[in-house]
Structure 1
């Protein structure tokens, strides 16, 4: 089979769908072929555990022209008082609807699930083996930079002896169907998946003393109270950004930034007695942190290497475990640092991080710039990829890179106008609204601008130091 289109998009996850949605809006002639290995749109959301939910409010996630959720404020649970967080099932249904009801009816999108890119402007159906060649008139769009490892699909880095039961988090809701419940549970991993698993176990009624948590590293966490969109949260959200810049201006290391932000209520950590070594932009409420602190049996002996009847073998030694313990594998890493390169590379666009961690905003802005600017030089000058470094000192470079892109967009009238109307931007539409209804509340913006200018020289110094140390190994 042979096809022809202006753009061949590899992937049909959040990044790809956001890019195509904005591209079709901005370029009324563009045609697109989308391919993806999954059998339905949504990328890694197809593989996620059933109780997963967004970190960020639904109101600023997804594709620009299709709202997600009802802009509701939760009235119960650990997210009480904040904008709703769509569940995994809601997100997956949303992306399926985006494809079925929004993109395909344009007649300008062709979508091929269960398909793998062949590396030469073609693809192969995973099941039938049928090969298709695509004549690409403009660009190949590679969205695989954002490929996420999830528990249900990643390859374990530890061994499991006969007679020991290991499951992924998605199996937990069905445990009651398979006979007697385990006498003890052990969470393997310290990321957001592990945190979600701990909350699920506790809310399911598992006593905290029946849970062991293996945490190779502690993480800094964003306080959800400081990243809410909308005018009702405007002062606290901008105040959180000002705190980040003030901390960055005064710090001599990444750790100092985080400790100051903890004092300011912008960052949280579960164990106050352990110095965090990582930051993956996981966002959490104080209520969730309080619940997780109830799990007192925490093992800090590095990563698990083997699970055997009655014991765990870890990098730092062995730990005796109750017979019949159920191990929950949360060791997949959703964040894998990768090198960056220009997004526009001749006949190829490689979508990357621009405004961390808002991946769907990144891709919408990239599509807008693809459709409205002429040369690769112009486009790359407006979108400078940000290198994601998951250690603490790498945070300064992420703040710096995101800030530079944000400043560049604000200075460009076309991009600035797009952001002011984009539901994916947590701040620009609110600022536009307040200019019309309550301009006096925008006085805090001047403070923000001053804090950014004061922080930039030190951020450059800290970022350069972190980059040199990372390169040195």
Structure 2
């Protein structure tokens, strides 16, 4: 079967959230033609294989593509997110991206979409079912798969398992047909949190839950991520509190103590010092619910699961034959290596703002569409490193603040940020009335401590290096 030849301005590899956000901005701001290739049968990337009860962990207003609202503008009225902005579910997100593709991208006449295809490199991709190969001749290729999101359904555990162990990925938890004596959740990250909350929500006694946490994590308070004006005090107030906490710290230990006291960072157990930070976000009610689980196992990573015992790095625990092990050990982002966003005819979207890959993709596409010099593009799109260890918070914040400072000096970028729906924080600050003394005091506090905070962070980075 001969290769089919295709031509377009851009080849975008991946129709997950990053690829869709990038394509959307190009459609809005250029007349470019696009070819979008993806391995799944519909747009949405890893959401196609996400666990059934997954939701966003930050408000829906921060997610999706710039042109099309995902959030319904509602607050949750029930549950552990009550009073805060709605969190779209996995099925809602898949339906949203499908709608964007069918009703915005394809009708434009400038997008050709090739689902169910494996990308082979050098513009060549192959359809999984027909075997047909295509060769795309384009000006530029966008690798929207670089961050390589890992999910429980496709994750291979790093530990061994003996025959007879009752072990499932998180995706299969709703399919359980009979009660277990003990439910063992393996993984202390966001998926582990979701598994524990789901078990508690579904009437499992917290004393029958064991939670294996190899490293405790610093967490973010979801109330500090809201974009509605009524949350100005918590959202913009937390930024001001964060800068002040950093500026007044005299050591790395004092820095994290100050951030916790200011309500910027949370932790599961006040007596356990977190060693991890991945940006996981919880509500205060979720945190209190998690604290009902008393058997939190802190003996390092799992080495081997056996019918009668769990072998960990720093010890062994007994378990009954009727124990259900739930795998939540997948790391969300598996590629932490940073590369230049713009490199000749290759564009590699990465995070230019912490916690926000879709905003970052939209921003990078805007820079691609409106700036010509590659060095200037890379300067504006300096990568904010994805955090892992707790002290990576410092590296992340320095990069984030440097980006924000550079963007603030570009009038056109300031205008774009204020108009872009994925950038909610700027609108809150800009919308604060000059005669609103309370809001203006928060803004002034933020401005007062921003530069001293940056200087302290640089000092702390030297110390940890």
Q: Tell me how far 1:465 sits from its aligned partner.
A: 4.0
Deviates more, 1:142-151 or 1:191-200: 142-151
Which residue of the other structure, out of 381, 387, 392, is the alignment partner of 2:379? 381
Secondary structure at 1:118's aligned position in 2? strand
Q: Given the superposition, is the C-alpha separation of residues 328 and 31 from structure 1 closer, same or farther in structure 2, using an over 3 Å criterion?
A: same
Give RMSD over aligned pairs: 1.7
How far the C-alpha of 1:4 sits from its partner, in A, is: 0.4
Question: Is 1:158 paired with 2:159?
Answer: yes
| Paired residues of 2:147 and 2:336 also in contact (CA < 8 A) | no
Match of 1:35 in 2: 37
Distance (whole Å) between structure 1 residues aligned to residue 458 and residue 125 of structure 2: 43
Instruction: Compute the displacement of 1:341 (Å).
Output: 2.4
Work out whether residues 46 and 151 of structure 2, in 8 Å CA contact, stay in contact via their aligned partners in 1.
yes
1:337 and 1:390 in contact (8 A); partners too: no
Cα distance per residue 1:66-117 (max 9 Å; x no partner): 1012111112211111111111111111111111111111111111112122
Name structure 2 gaps, 5 residues minimum. none
Contact 1:124–1:130 (CA<8 Å) still a contact in 2?
yes
Give SS of 2:392's match: helix
- 1:187 and 1:329 in contact (8 A); partners too: yes
Match of 2:216 in 1: 218
1:259–1:335 distance in 2 versus 1, CA, 3 Å: farther
Contact 2:241 2:446 in 1 (8 A): no
Residue pairs, 1:303-382, within 5 angstroms: 303-336=301-334, 338-382=336-380
With the length of structure 1 as denominator, give the TM-score of the two structures: 0.94
Per-residue Cα deviation, 1:257-288 (whole angstroms, up to 9, x for no partner)? 22212111221111111110000000001101
Superposition pairs of residues 119-268 of structure 1, within 5 angstroms:
119-136=121-138, 138-176=139-177, 180-268=178-266
Name the SS of the counterpart of 2:87 in structure 1.
coil
Match of 2:19 in 1: 16
Long gaps (5+) in structure 1: 469-473
> Does residue 106 of structure 2 align to residue 108 of structure 1?
no
Corresponding residue for residue 72 of structure 1: 74
CA shift, 1:314, in A, is 1.0
- State the alpha-carbon separation in 2 of the partners of residues 235 and 289 from structure 1: 21
The 8 Å contact of residues 280 and 335 in structure 1, kept in 2 or not, is answered as no
Give me the whole-angstrom Cα distance separating, in 2, the residues matched to 1:253 and 1:222. Answer: 21
How far apart, CA to CA, are the structure 2 residues paired with 1:255 and 1:70?
41
Offset at 1:129? 2.6
Q: Secondary structure at the match of 2:196?
A: helix
Report what 1:48 is aligned to: 50
Distance 2:374 2:435 in 1: 39
Q: TM-score, normalised by structure 2?
A: 0.96
Q: Which residue of 1 aligns with 2:427?
A: 429
Given candidates 53, 58, 61, the residue that maps to 2:60 is: 58
Which moved further from structure 2: 259-268 or 346-355? 259-268
